[in-house]
Amino acid sequence: MSKALSEHILALNPPQGDGPKLRSYPAIARYYHENGNKDRAIELVELAIKSLDGPEPIPEQRKQHLLRNWLQTLANYKGEKVCYGAHCAVPHLEGAKARSEEEER
């Protein structure tokens, strides 16, 4: 059911769109990541990050908060340092450890 709901949300809010609807993408990305579709999860988080520079104004404090959180999520999913503009994040130890354990399997 979760997969069907995630796909339905994405169908209603296609990735080529802009604005606040993309802010739901990190939550959907979490579903994909937890179910092993890491490439799709990474794609959705990257789209959400890019949406922050869209035409719809976002208060700067809120934008910075979202950017920090989403960059951290992206770094954890990729298992490497990621940057967007002047902001960077490195994976948390738990994320990096989980990734290495998966790679060992």
Whether residue 48 is predicted with pLDDT greater than 60 in this model: the reply is yes
pTM, two decimals, is 0.70
Classify residue 6 as exposed, middle or buried by CB count within 10 Å of its CB (0-12, 13-18, 19+). buried
Whether residue 93 is predicted with pLDDT greater than 80 in this model: the reply is no
- Going by pLDDT thresholds of 50, 70 and 90, the confidence category of residue 51 is confident
- Going by pLDDT thresholds of 50, 70 and 90, the confidence category of residue 104 is very low
Whether residue 29 is predicted with pLDDT greater than 90 in this model: the reply is yes
Delimit the domains of the chain by residue range. 2-104
Looking at residues 42-47, what average pLDDT do you find? 93
In angstroms, the Cα distances linking 100 to 42, 92, 96 are 17, 13, 6
